[in-house]
């Protein structure tokens, strides 16, 4: 098939590359000329394992192209995927300007019957709005064309996006059209052979499914963090509790790892958007609001534990930080717990020595160069001469460490572990004061 993908951000680039890798001919379009020029040369602006090699390969094979020519892009595709950004407004609702701009451009240039596929994460009812915008643009041209708009939400996790696309657990398509079902089955045929994964439903249900899925995952994380905080107060070990409840197949082990809160571009944004959608529909969302509150509070736990360990005297201290991205295998620092920690440390008069395998450039982009932030070359350099260590991200490079060496590098043997990477007993045996999440000494809230 000939497929056009509007947007070369995280979602658009992964979708375009994976569809091209499946044998389709794909044109990705973006308004950013420098970005398109770089991509056409195989330079991928985001960190995602396997993506750069896939883009390079499909470019060389001629299955993938990048352009800024909207008219050409609309003419090219049988399917027109909208995969542009939907950032949050100040009140947490979704900014649909980019989506609607693409819809208007499609209406301006459409010459034949096509299927518009909304891949961007959008509120319930957006497909109807997109249809209206395209219809209006066609009417202004005095043109009558039949076209379809369907919802095909993405369920990509940063760090494993290619795996999530090529081996998806399900492929959700919202449509009432038999024709759309047929073309979407053809589109996803390369990734739908061994097991039938297509889940067809009405458009509004598909739009809501994406938000409901992320809200459920966020709820599991915040619930487990509350259990962890309770475990500290009653002398239980949340890791043992996690294994106990995760072994129940009705619950499972996914997304029940306690820590320092969730971040990234999806869960926080989608949770807020779902709450705003519910507000507009006059529907109470007590659980969703509680999930948001718990997560906001949990991001402050690392600083609270560190501040407790130093008796509230952090001014002049140097703190090593392992991990800046919101999770491993990405360079994304949006809503990352590390940002809450860094800013609290600076407010308290402390300085930071930090290392992340992927997010160093992103950290410098966000914070610039400042005297109280030193971005170092590796994890070992981060702890040299530091007063304490805080672990924010669960990169594999942080999981194996010789505790005696670690203790010798720190001025004071204090480790605050926001990802529960180590066994408290072993750390204490090495003479390290170890503060995990739900696994040991309770650090009272400030």
Helix axes 286-298, 267-280, angle to 10 degrees: 150
Length of the chain: 446
Active-site position among 18, 150, 187, 266: 266
As a whole number of angstroms, the distance between CA 223 and CA 240 comes to: 16
Strands 388-391 and 351-355: unpaired
* Residue found by looking up tokens 């509007």 in the block: 6
What is the CB-side half-sphere exposure of residue 407 using CA atoms within 13 A? 13
As a whole number of angstroms, the distance between CA 388 and CA 398 comes to: 15
Active-site annotation holds for 28: no
As a whole number of angstroms, the distance between CA 272 and CA 298 comes to: 17
As a whole number of angstroms, the distance between CA 295 and CA 231 comes to: 17
The catalytic site residues sit at 266
């Amino acid at each position: 098939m000939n497929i056009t993908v509007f947007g070369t951000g995280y979602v658009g680039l992964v979708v375009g590359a994976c569809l091209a890798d499946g044998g389709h001919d794909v044109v990705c379009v973006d308004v950013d000329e420098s970005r398109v020029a770089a991509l056409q040369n195989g330079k991928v602006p985001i960190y995602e394992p396997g993506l750069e090699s896939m883009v390079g390969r499909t470019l060389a094979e001629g299955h993938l192209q990048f352009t800024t020519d909207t008219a050409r892009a609309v003419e090219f595709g049988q399917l027109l995927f909208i995969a542009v950004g939907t950032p949050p407004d100040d009140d947490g609702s979704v900014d649909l300007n980019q989506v609607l701009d693409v819809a208007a451009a499609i209406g301006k240039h459409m010459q034949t019957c096509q299927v518009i596929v909304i891949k961007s994460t959008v509120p319930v009812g957006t497909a109807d709005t997109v249809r209206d915008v395209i219809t209006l643009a066609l009417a202004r041209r005095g043109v009558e064309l039949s076209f379809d708009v369907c919802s095909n939400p993405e369920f990509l996790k940063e760090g494993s996006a290619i795996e999530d696309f090529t081996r998806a657990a399900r492929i959700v398509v919202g449509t009432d059209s038999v024709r759309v079902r047929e073309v979407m089955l053809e589109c996803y045929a390369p990734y739908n052979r061994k097991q039938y994964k297509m889940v067809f439903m009405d458009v509004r249900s598909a739009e809501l499914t994406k938000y409901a899925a992320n809200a459920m995952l966020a709820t599991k994380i915040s619930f487990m963090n509350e259990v962890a905080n309770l475990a500290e107060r009653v002398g239980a070990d949340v890791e043992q509790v996690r294994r106990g409840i995760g072994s129940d197949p009705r619950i499972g082990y996914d997304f029940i790892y306690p820590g320092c809160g969730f971040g990234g571009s999806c869960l926080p944004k989608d949770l807020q958007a779902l709450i705003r959608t519910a507000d507009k529909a006059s529907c109470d969302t007590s659980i969703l609001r509680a999930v948001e509150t718990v997560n906001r509070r949990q991001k402050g736990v690392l600083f609270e534990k560190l501040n407790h360990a130093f008796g509230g005297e952090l001014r002049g201290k140097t703190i090593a930080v392992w991990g800046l991205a919101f999770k491993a295998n990405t360079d994304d620092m949006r809503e990352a717990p590390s940002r809450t920690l860094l800013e609290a440390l600076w407010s308290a008069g402390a300085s930071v020595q930090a290392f992340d395998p992927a997010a160093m450039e992103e950290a410098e982009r966000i914070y610039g160069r400042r005297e109280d932030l030193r971005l170092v070359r590796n994890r070992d350099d981060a702890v040299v001469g530091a007063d304490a260590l805080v672990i924010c991200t669960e990169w594999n490079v942080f999981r194996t460490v010789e505790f005696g060496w670690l203790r010798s590098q720190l001025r004071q043997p204090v480790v605050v572990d926001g990802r529960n990477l180590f066994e408290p007993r072993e750390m204490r045996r090495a003479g390290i004061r170890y503060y995990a999440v739900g696994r040991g000494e309770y650090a009272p809230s400030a």
